[in-house]
């Protein structure tokens, strides 16, 4: 099974800042999107069980390579880093277009993406990508397994009340969630071996994409203003014995008409 795992480098939670263009600064202090490690782990488990290799793919500035390192240390065979100054400020549309171009240059049976986290691109890039590539799209996976005859992939899609078992022929694009299972810690051997693994860097020119068709200049939206949310007043701290504390909580909630 040849699996391409999309890794998105996102600002480290808590350290995010806006750049001068009032867009999220994605140039510094990056780590892998929280859910990408779960899909990486799922991909590694599948290739360990059924043969094959995992290739990581990320798009972003130089600092995005950080996000690849851990995956290589976990056991991915190689990585591709799409990087070009013209990509700065790319929206979901550009991201999907560029990733599609990169994926078309790879050989794969499956493409994995992690569910977007809270500040991600809204969960639209993965289905967008599938539409551009003409791949079956199986989303919100909590379990991923090959189908009985080995030519299809089966994914449990998480729902509010249970799951739907989806099946599609490969090649396919699967979006996975945290429920796939805890990622392994990279071993020392993995960390050391990662040093010699290939990270290919591709520019827009390598993908045949003109610079003027991507980036902030053609983004579908622009930020018109930023504001701080109204500050919270600061906590009232209650340290009294339980019965007294409970009475104070009830008074507090009643005063705010919450009960």
Long-range contacts of 13-19 (CB under 8 A, 24+ apart): 16/119, 18/226
CA distance 61 to 29: 11
Q: Is 107 in the site for other proteins (CB under 8 A)?
A: no
Binding residue for other proteins, selected from 4, 42, 158, 209, defined by CB under 8 A: 158
Q: Is 194 in the site for other proteins (CB under 8 A)?
A: yes
Q: Is 149 in the site for other proteins (CB under 8 A)?
A: no
Q: What residues have CB less than 8 Å from 132, skipping those under 6 apart?
A: 96, 97, 100
Q: Are 38 and 6 in contact (CB under 8 A)?
A: no
DSSP SS3 for 83:
coil
Question: CB of residue 63 vs other proteins: minimum separation in angstroms?
Answer: 11
Per-residue DSSP letter, 18: B
Question: Distance of CA 46 to CAs 39, 125, 171, Å?
Answer: 10, 24, 15
Mask of contacts with other proteins, 212-231, x by CB under 8 A?
-------xxxxxxxxxxx--
Q: Which is nearer to other proteins, 17 or 51 (CB)?
A: 17
Q: Which is nearer to other proteins, 178 or 203 (CB)?
A: 178
Location of structure tokens 């504390």: 245
Does residue 171 have a cis bond before it (omega within 30 degrees)? yes
Site for other proteins in 24-43 (CB under 8 A): 24, 34-35
Site for other proteins in 228-247 (CB under 8 A): 228-229, 232-233, 235-239, 242-243, 245-247
Q: Is 50 in the site for other proteins (CB under 8 A)?
A: no
Site for other proteins in 112-141 (CB under 8 A): 115-119, 121-132, 134-140
Binding residue for other proteins, selected from 20, 149, 160, 208, defined by CB under 8 A: 160
Q: Is 189 in the site for other proteins (CB under 8 A)?
A: yes
Residue 233 structure tokens: 């007043």
Mask of contacts with other proteins, 54-93, x by CB under 8 A?
------------x--xx--x-----------------xxx
Per-residue DSSP letter, 150: S
Q: Which is nearer to other proteins, 140 or 202 (CB)?
A: 140
DSSP SS3 for 213:
helix
Question: CB of residue 202 vs other proteins: minimum separation in angstroms?
Answer: 21
CA atoms within 13 A on the CB side of 182: 3
């Amino acid at each position: 099974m040849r699996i391409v795992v999309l890794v998105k480098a996102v600002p480290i939670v808590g350290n995010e800042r806006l750049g001068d263009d009032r867009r999220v600064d994605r140039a510094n202090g990056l780590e892998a999107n929280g859910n990408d490690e779960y899909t990486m782990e799922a991909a590694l488990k599948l290739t360990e069980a059924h043969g094959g290799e995992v290739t990581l793919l990320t798009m972003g500035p130089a600092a995005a390579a950080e996000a690849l390192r851990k995956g290589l240390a976990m056991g991915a065979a190689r990585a591709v880093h799409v990087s070009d100054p013209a990509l700065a400020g790319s929206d979901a549309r550009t991201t999907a277009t560029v990733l599609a171009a990169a994926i078309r240059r790879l050989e794969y049976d499956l493409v994995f993406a992690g569910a977007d986290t809270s500040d991600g691109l809204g969960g639209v890039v993965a289905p967008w990508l599938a539409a551009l590539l003409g791949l079956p799209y199986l989303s919100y996976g909590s379990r991923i397994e090959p189908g009985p005859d080995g030519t299809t992939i089966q994914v449990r899609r998480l729902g509010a009340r249970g799951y739907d078992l989806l099946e599609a022929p490969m090649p396919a694009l699967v979006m996975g969630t945290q429920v796939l299972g805890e990622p392994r810690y990279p071993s020392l051997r993995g960390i050391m071996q990662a040093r010699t693994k290939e990270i290919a860097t591709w520019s827009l020119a390598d993908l045949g994409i003109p610079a003027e068709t991507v980036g902030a200049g053609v983004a579908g939206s622009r930020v018109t203003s930023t504001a701080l949310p109204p500050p919270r007043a600061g906590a009232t701290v209650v340290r009294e014995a339980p019965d007294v504390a409970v009475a104070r909580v009830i008074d507090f909630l009643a005063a705010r008409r919450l009960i």
